[in-house]
Structure 1
Amino acid sequence: MKSIKELMDLTGRTALVTGGAGHIGTAFCEALAEAGAHIAVLDIDESRVQESAAVLAERYGVKTMGLTMDLADEAAVVASPEQVVDQLGRLDILVNCAAFVGTSKLTGWGVPFEEQNVDTWRAALETNLTAPFALVQAATPYLRESGHGSVINIGSTYGVVGPDMSLYEGTAMGNPAGYGASKGGITQLTRYLATVLAPDIRVNCISPGGIARGQHEKFVERYEARTPLNRMGTEEDMKGTLLYLASDLSAYVTGQNLMVDGGWTAW
Structure 2
Amino acid sequence: MKSIKQLMDLTGRTALVTGGAGHIGMAFCETLAEAGASVAVLDIDPARTEECATRLTSQYGVKAMGLAIDLADTDAVIAAPAQVAGALGGLGILVNCAGFVGTSGLSGWVTPFEGQSVDTWRAALEVNLTAPFALIQAATPLLRASGHGSVVNIGSTYGVVGPDMSLYEGTAMGNPAAYAASKGGLTQLTRWLATTLAPDIRVNCISPGGVERGQPDPFVKRYVARTPLARMGTEEDMKGALLYLASDLSAYVTGQNLLVDGGWTAW
Shared fold per TM-score greater than 0.5: yes
Match of 2:204 in 1: 204
The equivalences for 1:98-247 within 5 A come to: 98-103=98-103, 106-247=106-247
Match of 1:251 in 2: 251
CA RMSD of aligned residues (A): 0.9
Question: Residues of 2 paired with 1:15 and 1:234: CA distance?
Answer: 22
TM superposition shift of 1:105: 7.5
Match of 1:264 in 2: 264
SS of residue matched to 2:228: coil
Question: Residues of 1 paired with 2:98 and 2:46: CA distance?
Answer: 15
TM superposition shift of 1:115: 1.1
Match of 2:82 in 1: 82
Match of 1:21 in 2: 21
Question: Residues of 2 paired with 1:8 and 1:176: CA distance?
Answer: 37
Question: Residues of 1 paired with 2:33 and 2:116: CA distance?
Answer: 39
Do the aligned partners of residues 209 and 72 (structure 1) sit closer, same or farther apart at CA in structure 2, a change above 3 Å counting?
same
TM superposition shift of 1:110: 1.3
SS of residue matched to 1:11: coil
Match of 1:38 in 2: 38
Structure 1: 4+ residue segments shifted above 2 A: 103-106
Question: Residues of 1 paired with 2:97 and 2:110: CA distance?
Answer: 20
Question: Residues of 2 paired with 1:23 and 1:56: CA distance?
Answer: 15
Do the aligned partners of residues 136 and 121 (structure 1) sit closer, same or farther apart at CA in structure 2, a change above 3 Å counting?
same
Unaligned runs of 5+ in 1: none
- Deviates further, 109-118 or 125-134: 109-118
TM-score for both structures, normalised by structure 2: 0.99
TM superposition shift of 1:106: 4.3
TM superposition shift of 1:60: 0.2
Question: Residues of 2 paired with 1:208 and 1:85: CA distance?
Answer: 29
Question: Residues of 2 paired with 1:52 and 1:114: CA distance?
Answer: 40
TM-score for both structures, normalised by structure 1: 0.99
Amino acid at match of 1:29: C
Q: How many percent identity over aligned positions?
A: 79
TM superposition shift of 1:212: 0.1
Amino acid at match of 2:261: D
